[in-house]
Structure 1
Amino acid sequence: MNDKQIEVLLKLAGGKENIRHVQRDMDTTTLTLRDRNRMDIPGSDVLELGANIRITRDYCSIAYEDEFSQLYHTLQAMGVGKPEGDALPETRRIRKKSFLYFISDVFRPLMPAILGAAVLKIVLAIITLCNVYSSTDSSSLMDSQTFLIFKSIGDSVYYLLPILVAISTAYRLKSNVYVAAAIGGLMFYPQMTALLSGEEDVHFMGVPIVSQAFFFSASIWVILTICALSYLERVVERISPRVFKGILASLLTFLILVPLVLIILGPIGTWIDQQLPDVVDSLLNDAPVVAIMLLGAVYSLMLIAGLHYWLLPMIINELMVNGFSLILPVMLVAFVAQAGASLATGLRSKQWEIRKLAFWATGTALLGVPEPAIYAVNMRKRASFYSALLGGAAGGLYFGLLSVKAVALGGSGSLLEIPLFMEVGSLNLLHVCVGIIISFCVSGVFTYWMLGKERKHV
């Protein structure tokens, strides 16, 4: 919310002197007014702000969607109303933030960097695609150091994402951001990278550790680790002597907490490494339609947990043995479903900042970068997130029924990779387009309907 919008809102409220209470409730800031007759209600300004005005005989309030708390903190700084006090009779709602909401809060501050890198990666992907189908030989451009540097710039944000997520989580939990950054960067340490290269079995204190660095550095595990760090810090700082304050908590984190996380995640990753390929292969052989539908539904969850990397060897094996892959198309419908849910969320929102983020996230998800749509938009609303999973299942079901296949290795889940589905003498490409439309529409329609239903019950 900018200064002009705040000025319009104060004018609508009849001046800051007319505001009795300022209350923050989840993603809404509510202003309770002293005298409703002092309100100045120009219709165009109300529509532009997207404010919700409630007027009864003795009560008048203005509710505004304020997910970033900008309005609330600005009014507090101006000394407007009372930030604390008795709960308002018509606006008090006890709602617990879900863990999905918290994850979205962690990713929101990272969106400028992630979206900027995403757009750069998409531009480079378009250049690469044009080079592939160009009649002239421009391979020198693809091999040039300039192109490789630009590619490294686009990839750097995603490479460092565990560190950025750790810092953002620690900031929200008021924990030590530098200790958090050190934990987030653990898997990038050269010796750890070499150790988890897969050349030999890895054991830590006798516990097997799976050789998948990407699994340990998945955002969900980083966030959970920093949550544990925050709790440990508070407990230790409360009981530690003054001479050890600020030191003992960090020592115990590095000495106990991080090894404990590795001991817990290590066997889990090892079990997944042993079981997931067999389960997927068995389903593909015995019930391919069910397998593709389930993968379409859970692929986004696998991406969040860092499990999607286990599918790559299976995809390569499919291409080498069969000449095509049934798993690869799943990525496309899963990302398109996230785009559909993000677009519907943007259309439902009345706040310009959220709409802008949702529309940008929709575009990047369609072009193979779904993180903004998943983390910053759809996780904010459970209806959006679950609808996206449903859309992925619907698209996966269609792909499974029609045996849609990819005939070349891609892997980004982008609409730019549609040529990978071209097969001479078949309708494979047509079925891909139909499945994409189904996935997008199912997730979008369900998101729009369920968010509207939620709003009616608020």
Structure 2
Amino acid sequence: MNDKQIEALLKLAGGKENIRHVQHDMDTTTLTLRDRTRMDLSVSDVLDLGADIRITGDYCSIAYEDESSQLYNTLQGMGVRKAEGDVLPATRRTRKKSLLYFISDVFRPLMPAILGAAVLKIVLAVITLFNESSLMDSQTFLIFKSIGDSVYYLLPILVAISTAYRLKSNIYVAAAIGGLMFYPQMTALLSGEEDVHFMGVPIVSQAIFFSASIWVILTIYAASYLDKVVEQISPRVFKGILAPLLTFLILVPLVLMILGPIGTWIDQHLPDVVDSLLNDAPIVAIMLLGAVYSLMMIAGLHYWLLPIIINEIMVNGFSLILPVMLVAFVAQAGASLATGLRSKQREFRKLAFWATGTALLGTPEPAMYAVNMRKRASFYSALLGGAAGGLCFGLMSVKAVALGGSGSLLEIPLFMEEGSLNLLHACVGLIISFCVSGVLTYWMIGKERKHV
């Protein structure tokens, strides 16, 4: 946060003298105001500042995400009084945080690790592209590859810890929940070698489905609620023990019993639905997949497309579904770039620009989770951009002639087909996807800002 942003927040608050006291909690600095009529709502970049205005009767406050405590420390240095205890009443926010925003909040602290690993994976992908077989077969290369993959392998645990921290819940219980699918016996049980049932309920043999970020976040959210309720009613001798016990004994099995049949149903019907659409309405199928592929990633459903892609290549010699992955990633990149261009926060802009690059090179998580989900306009525009690119791919029958899988622009050679314009058509579709998501995002964020 820079001096201009602090000055803008002070102007929004009606000046330093209008601030009754300031409080910092859970990476948020809250300014309680003396007189709400002195607020200057003409400040043009309130949305970009991430400021939430809370009003209840004569009570008014401004909350700002301040992970580094820079705003809080600055106000303390200016002589603004620190709030004693928890003085913030239940208030109504003028802009409620959506589930997408909360998911983005969960992923923001993980970005240094994810971006660092993403850049390492991109470097290794470039080495692979140049077919340096002697280096690729070396143990050094394998160790570097393991380092790059480790963050994504352990992502469910990291997401669980970050979610628990945001909800002021037990991070160690959360880590245990997030790591359930890494337990060797659980992994072997869900390997697909046999049908799995838990208390008579079918459990889909797809461990990665249960480790999808959205299910981990929702499970930790339920666990935090259970923890608060149990801690209030449990005797002193059981405090700190009963809540984790009930979480492991009841909540986690309940989640498995809910997600298990859902995953089983998806496993039985999703491939048939996709095959039917590809046969009867291929253009519509590719457009829809371009639109919803990002949503499928969030829910862990995109792994079900891999067998279909492999079957396409074995039977037809090409795949119509594989290019959809690249379209979706490029759309996320376009929205991330536009969001960064619209933002006035230097750190957020830097994150958005880095995320744009990693999305174009096959790692869309920073763009999708940390940038686009913070603004619904950005995320929805990315979905529309994916649909536009998918429609273009469907109309021109763009296909990948070999199996890739990273969704990176480095895999453009997969579209090279002798005697056809397939590569040119692929480039046109990707440009359309990037431009549609970027232009829509830039326009919609600007429109939101005018209504502040």
Scaled to the shorter chain, the TM-score interval is: 0.7 to 0.9
CA distance in 1, matches of 2:23, 2:431: 39
Corresponding residue SS for 1:192: helix
Residue in 2 that maps onto 1:39: none
CA distance in 2, matches of 1:223, 1:436: 32
Corresponding residue SS for 2:394: helix
CA distance in 2, matches of 1:352, 1:371: 20
Corresponding residue SS for 1:417: helix
Instruction: Judge conservation of contact 1:104–1:377 (CA < 8 Å) in 2.
Output: yes
For residues 153-172 of structure 1, what are the structure 2 equivalents within 5 Å?
Answer: 153-172=147-166
What one-letter code is carried by the residue in structure 2 that aligns with 1:359? F
The answer to whether 1:70 aligns with 2:64 is no
Deviates more, 1:94-103 or 1:339-348: 94-103
**What's the TM-score once normalised by structure 2's chain length?**
0.87
Instruction: Judge conservation of contact 2:10–2:16 (CA < 8 Å) in 1.
Output: no
Cα offset for 1:428?
Answer: 0.2
The answer to whether 1:240 aligns with 2:241 is no
- Flag the 1:165–1:148 CA change in 2: closer, same or farther, 3 A: same
Residue in 2 that maps onto 1:227: 221
What one-letter code is carried by the residue in structure 1 that aligns with 2:411? E
Instruction: Judge conservation of contact 1:29–1:72 (CA < 8 Å) in 2.
Output: no
Corresponding residue SS for 1:362: helix
What one-letter code is carried by the residue in structure 2 that aligns with 1:73? Y
Q: Deviations over 1:129-173 (max 9, x none)?
A: 012xxxxxx422101000000000000000000000000000010
Deviates more, 1:294-303 or 1:20-29: 20-29
**What's the TM-score once normalised by structure 1's chain length?**
0.86
Residue in 1 that maps onto 2:100: 100
What one-letter code is carried by the residue in structure 2 that aligns with 1:362? T
Cα offset for 1:70?
Answer: 3.3
Residue in 2 that maps onto 1:125: 125
CA distance in 1, matches of 2:393, 2:446: 30
Aligned residues: 427
Cα offset for 1:28?
Answer: 9.1
- Structure 1 residues not aligned, in runs of 5+: 35-45, 53-62, 132-137
The answer to whether 1:174 aligns with 2:173 is no
Instruction: Judge conservation of contact 1:50–1:64 (CA < 8 Å) in 2.
Output: no
Instruction: Judge conservation of contact 1:167–1:177 (CA < 8 Å) in 2.
Output: yes
Please give the root-mean-square deviation of Cα atoms over the aligned residues, in Å: 3.2
What one-letter code is carried by the residue in structure 1 that aligns with 2:419? G
Cα offset for 1:95?
Answer: 2.1
Q: Deviations over 1:408-451 (max 9, x none)?
A: 00011100000000000000000000000000000000000000
Corresponding residue SS for 1:369: coil
- Flag the 1:275–1:80 CA change in 2: closer, same or farther, 3 A: same
- Flag the 1:441–1:7 CA change in 2: closer, same or farther, 3 A: closer
- Structure 2 residues not aligned, in runs of 5+: 36-44, 52-61
For residues 45-444 of structure 1, what are the structure 2 equivalents within 5 Å?
Answer: 66=65, 68=67, 70-75=69-74, 78=77, 80-81=80-81, 94-131=94-131, 138-444=132-438
Corresponding residue SS for 1:95: coil
Residue in 2 that maps onto 1:42: none
Q: Percent identity?
A: 81
Instruction: Judge conservation of contact 2:167–2:224 (CA < 8 Å) in 1.
Output: yes
Instruction: Judge conservation of contact 1:20–1:82 (CA < 8 Å) in 2.
Output: no
- Flag the 1:51–1:285 CA change in 2: closer, same or farther, 3 A: closer
CA distance in 2, matches of 1:245, 1:81: 35
